[in-house]
Structure 1
């Protein structure tokens, strides 16, 4: 909820603070929380391996109170960018969570378990759906006061209820960064750049698309962003579950093919509302399944450095959500439309498909035996 709390309210926040932005500045602002949340997944995953996810979770949630307090009180674009950057630390919770839960379950169950852990992304749906409504009925400050209350509640729950996780006392930055030498780390990171990046980018931008393309109001736009986020989140365990039963790379191949097809259709019918919304539903389902498939394989790259692998893969996925909004903003400002950016997504999906086929399907290399 915290990570993308700017997206459904950005127009209201800017008006409230008297800040006027260009299309590029607005998309850059929305992408900023994703940047730090992505980059910091690597060290936060490593810290979770070494000290245990429970302790790192608690520290993170206490830290997030600072930017949440700042957001409705800034008075300039520079300060808004700074607050958005700090807000991005909330995105590191995913790397912490994966490191935390993997210690409690055997490998044959981790596809489903990690998919369930990823259901935490449904917080983006809550923010998209509820925040515009809370702001409309109770005011902007109420939204961020609610987030502070929730952060405090979860800190208390973590302290008194959550069990301690497995720790790797011998973990070090050098040992953990050794996972960067594994080519599987980088292939999974690239694939996650596509699936999770597309999930983040569309969750972040769907409200903007609805307003700019179809003149929707913020409440309706937030509803569709929430639907997309829910689909992308709830289908994640589905991808993980079937990856426990069927070869994951084969499943991922068909997922990439489907993403390519629907991206092309979206580019062609971008201004047809019914088709646009249908394609968004399909994309939400496909990226959710893809995310679950990919994270089924993460613990098998290095079982003693799961947090580090999660950090690398998660960082790339987050960056996959960072760059598309900026690129689409530049394309929109330069061409007056988003079509070229949508077609670039299809091209990138084809690149991932070719690499997947060459390395893991036609080739002899395997992650999950």
Structure 2
């Protein structure tokens, strides 16, 4: 059991005073529910290509590397796009940004569903589909501004569970395409995005006392880049969330190739992985509200290291392989929640959006490279083991950074 963290005592308040985001805070619950729903919907769109990877490989006669590139392109765009989107959210607020990004995402969704018919076409559509992955940088500063420090870990964990939109895609895309035609999943997502944009425009509200930073977007991004804690947290999130993204986009292809599963079966197993990781993210945030977040995060990286080594052995999928993958899902989910509990603790409120953009971008980029590495590894060695060994080494490095540099910053209580 991790030791209880005594440094995060709730702030004192006078009688009748209401903490922002507390039970009497009015809009905190609605803000959390709407932002989580928006995150899930846009992530559903963001992950549309992944379950179709094996099908598109056959239809377009792709190599293993080309298939990996196809499903990875939305990831890198959605990652890099978080940097300006996070800074813009600090300035413009989530009420403007959420519906705007949702509506812009409709365009590539419809293009992919009706017009893309070649590798180049899908790469172009996937590039702009990356817009759906940027909403993470909208929701984190928004939720952070509604909740007091002692409740942010759980609140941000609940919001982060919106990454379960990838599970919706994994569960439904292949099945809907088979039942109603290949266009139907894209049309359905486009309609849902439009509906969410309308609801968000009508009901979403930024807190009245939201801090609005001064200075240009570029100046604030440059200031965030100069913060050592932002760079450290970026690496840690690249390992935790990047690992989750990498598995969610490449696991269907891996299970099909390495274990001979049918595509529908592989998609459902991937959805199970995603659901478990999503469920564990709020758990990670809750643990960090009540216990030492450094120990929580370090423990998750230790588990990832051990299970990645086990996966590298490529033992039978049932039961050992399944246990390894589900354990990785749980550990990565806890890790993603723990990293942003540390963001809320170590970064000033007016900088959360800019820092979230950087950290979120690093997380997405962390999910971009592993599918490419796995595709190259299999193409060269006809084996995936090297990819898992590299994951184990990276997770071990993240654990070492957490227990040393990040622990020192948490003890000092400063973002500098």
* TM-score, length-scaled by structure 2: 0.85
Cα pair distance change 1:315/1:364, threshold 3 Å = closer
Matched, 1:192 2:192: no
| Alignment partner of 1:103 is 2:145 | yes
- Give 3-state SS (helix, strand or coil) of 2:163's partner: helix
Residue 387 of structure 2 corresponds to 341
The change in CA–CA distance for 1:113 and 1:171 in structure 2 (over 3 A counts) is farther
Deviation at residue 102 of structure 1 after TM alignment: 1.2
| Residue 163 to residue 360, structure 1, CA distance change in 2 (3 Å) | closer
Q: 2:216 aligns with which of 167, 172, 182?
A: 172
Over 3 Å counting, the alpha-carbon distance change for 1:368 and 1:124 in structure 2 is: farther
With the length of structure 1 as denominator, give the TM-score of the two structures.
0.95
2:182 corresponds to which of 114, 119, 140: 140
3-state SS of 1:140 partner: coil
Deviation of the 1:21 alpha carbon = 0.8
Aligned to 1:58: 99
Matched residue, 1:284: 329
CA offsets 1:123-159 (integer angstroms, 9 cap, x no match)? 1001001111111111111111101110011011101
Give the match's secondary structure for 1:216: coil
TM superposition shift of 1:164: 2.8
1:78 aligns with 2:120: yes
Residue number among 31, 46, 63 corresponding to 1:3 in the alignment: 46
Matches within 5 A, 1:239-318: 239-299=284-344, 300-318=346-364
- Which is further off, 18-27 or 33-42? 18-27
The structural deviation recorded for 1:163 is 1.7
User: Any conservation in 2 of the 1:297–1:367 contact (CA below 8 Å)?
Assistant: no
Does 2:397 match 1:351? yes
- The CA distance in 1 between the partners of 2:298 and 2:367, in whole Å, is 21
The answer to which of 323-332 and 293-302 deviates more is 293-302
Q: Match of 2:383, SS?
A: coil
Equivalent residues, number: 366
Map 1:32-51 → 2, pairs under 5 A: 32-51=73-92
Tell me, yes or no, if structure 1 residue 320 matches structure 2 residue 366. Answer: yes
Structure 1 gap ranges (5+): none
Tell me: CA distance 1:161–1:368, structure 2 relative to 1, closer, same or farther (3 Å): same
Give me the whole-angstrom Cα distance separating, in 1, the residues matched to 2:410 and 2:191.
Answer: 48
How do 1:6-25 and structure 2 match up within 5 A? 6-13=49-56, 18-25=59-66
Aligned position for 2:256: 211
